[in-house]
Structure formats: structure tokens, C-alpha cells
Structure 1
Amino acid sequence: MDLKEIQNLIRFVAKSGASEVKLEMDDIKITIKTGSDEEKGATTFVQHMPAMATAPAVSAPVAQAAETAVPAVPTPAEDDNSKYITIKSPIIGTLYRKPAPDKPVFVEVGKTISEGDVLCVIEAMKLFNEIESEVSGTIVKILVDDSSPVEFDQPLFLVDPS
């Protein structure tokens, strides 16, 4: 592999948006990293800030009035969900509840699961990652639809550990 091919590879990786690419051939090993973890976190934070800033800017007095009236309603719902364990997405990608389009879903509401059971698959950059349960219990609620995009740390399932 000559210098020109390496430069083209670097340009391609930078344009693709991948954060890290490793290439191993018989006589050469190349690792290309773009950006840093701090930059990724800042980008994610910046993406969330406009959505948060827009709501209070529209009508601040109404938002305060809604906040004082609303806490009585969500508190029981939060108490109901507090006894459940939330399984969150470990990566960004597209969630699939089935191993293949013609296969049945991995889990349904009411199914008992144990540690290590596959709950879903998340596709990230054409790689399918099986998401396994870290707890035992019963699926109470599925929070994400099939074939929908998910973010890092987004709640996917509620599990009753009892």
C-alpha cells in the first residue's frame, strides 16, 4: 500500500463519520482515529441543547404553571416504574426486535428472561450487535418500536426483577 492509497483511505474515513477504523494486511497495520471522546460528548450535548432551550423560550410563565400542576400526576407513574429495571441501549444504531425479517421477535411483554438472553439486535455501521440481558425477570414494557433508531443510553425495556 503506497502513501497515496493511505491518504485516500484517511479522507474516506473522515468523510464517512466513523470514529475509528483498523486495517490489517499481511505487511501493514493501519489504525485511523478521527476526533476524540470529548468531542463526541460535546456534539451530543449540543444536539440536545436546542430542543431544551426552545421549550422554555416559547412561554416561560406557562411552563412554570405546568410544572407546578404536573408533579402530582407523574409521581405515581414514576413510583410504578421505580420498581422495574430499565435496560438501556449500549450503542447508537437501529434496533431490531427480530433476528431476521421472517423470524419471531426475541422477547414479548410478559416473557420471563434470564441473564444472557438476547433481547434485541442493534445495527451500527452494518454490524449487528446482540443486546443481552444483564438481569433476570419478566419483560413489563417494550419502549422502542422495531426498526427504529436508538441513541446511546436510551431506555429499551422495563424488566420486573421479582
Structure 2
Amino acid sequence: MKIQEIRELIRLIDQSSIEEFVYEHDGTKVHMKKPAAVAPVQAAVTPAVEQAAKPATEEVKPQASTQPVAPPTEAKPQELPKQEAKNTENLHKITSPMVGTFYAAPSPDAPPYVKVGDKVKTDTVVCIIEAMKLFNEIEAEVNGEIVEVLVENGQLVEYGQPLFLVKPE
């Protein structure tokens, strides 16, 4: 299975109400499961030979080479959101409604839809998210002023990922 096919599956599962998905083909197993809270879908790909050696009742867990590094990195992210929460309490986050590629402008040679300091209304288009060859205009959904752009042009974004911070009026 190609990585692009896996990405498409993740997008489709993420946009659906399916909570768990398992697919096996040619020695490859893809197991996707959404947690109860809204979060990006995680995928684990494991060879079927390794899968056959495990008992049928045991759940497949992705292999992580970062386990020895996990304790030091876990402490820092837990501290950062607390600091961010203090700074962004009164700000509205414009989040991505889908997985896709973020574009700040309608075309490469055009100026960005919005920049820091711009005033926006609820129906102001702030960016485009490209998903499966479709360009989706994202609106501000709030009246206010753009305080910060949180992603780079051309960056892959996840469902629910904050894109902009807006100071509401």
C-alpha cells in the first residue's frame, strides 16, 4: 500500500463518523482508530507475518522508536500549553476543518488573503485548504483583527489544527 493511499484513507476516515477501521492486504495491515475526543486519526502499518505471531485478542500497537526519548519531551509540551493558554485566552482560534494543504493566497503571485493586523468579518476568506484536489475557502467566522498566522504557506495541516489567532471585536 502506498503512502498516498494511506493518507487518503486517513482523510476519509477522519471526515466520516467511523470510529475504527482495519484493512489487510498483501502482508500489510492498516489499523486506524479515532479517540472519543476530536483528534487526528492515527494509523499503524504492520507486516501480516508479524501480526500472525501475536494472539488474536491482543491489540496491535505501533512500533515507536522514540520511546526512550518520550519522558524528556513530554514534560516540555505539558508546560507550553499552559503558557499559551494564558496568552490566548481572549483570542479566537480559526481552525482547519479538514486535513489538507494550507494556502495563504488564491494563487502563488497573489497577495495573501489576510495578514497580521488585518480586520476580518465572519464571512471574510482567510485562506484556502486543498484536500484531494479541491480548494476549500476558509472563512474567519468571527469579527475581529488577525493577531497571528500560525502556519506557513504550503504546509500540511490536520483537522482541528489552529491556523490563525483573532482578537474578537
TM-score, normalization: structure 1? 0.63
2:33 maps to 42
User: Which of these residues, 141, 144, 147, is aligned with residue 140 of structure 1?
Assistant: 147
* 1:83-94 matches, cutoff 5 A: 83-94=90-101
Task: Point out where structure 2 has 5 or more consecutive residues left out of the alignment.
Answer: 10-15, 22-31, 35-40, 45-60
Q: 1:86 to 1:126 in 2, by over 3 A?
A: same
The structure that has the greater radius of gyration is 1
* 1:49-88 matches, cutoff 5 A: 54=66, 57-58=68-69, 60=71, 66=75, 71=79, 75-88=82-95
As a proportion of its length, which structure holds more helix?
Answer: 1
* 1:1-162 matches, cutoff 5 A: 18=8, 37-39=18-20, 42=33, 44-46=41-43, 54=66, 57-58=68-69, 60=71, 66=75, 71=79, 75-162=82-169
SS at match of 1:135: coil
Q: 1:97 to 1:52 in 2, by over 3 A?
A: farther
Provide the rounded CA distance (Å) in 1 between the counterparts of 2:63 and 2:162: 19
Provide the rounded CA distance (Å) in 2 between the counterparts of 1:154 and 1:91: 9
Deviation at 1:83, TM superposition (A): 1.0
**RMSD between aligned alpha carbons?**
3.4
Deviation at 1:45, TM superposition (A): 3.3
Q: Which amino acid aligns with 2:128?
A: V
Q: Which amino acid aligns with 1:92?
A: V
Aligned length: 126
Q: 1:115 to 1:52 in 2, by over 3 A?
A: farther
Q: 1:160 to 1:52 in 2, by over 3 A?
A: farther
SS at match of 1:157: strand
Task: Point out where structure 1 has 5 or more consecutive residues left out of the alignment.
Answer: 1-14, 20-34
Provide the rounded CA distance (Å) in 2 between the counterparts of 1:89 and 1:152: 5
SS at match of 2:33: helix
User: Percent sequence identity over matched residues?
Assistant: 40
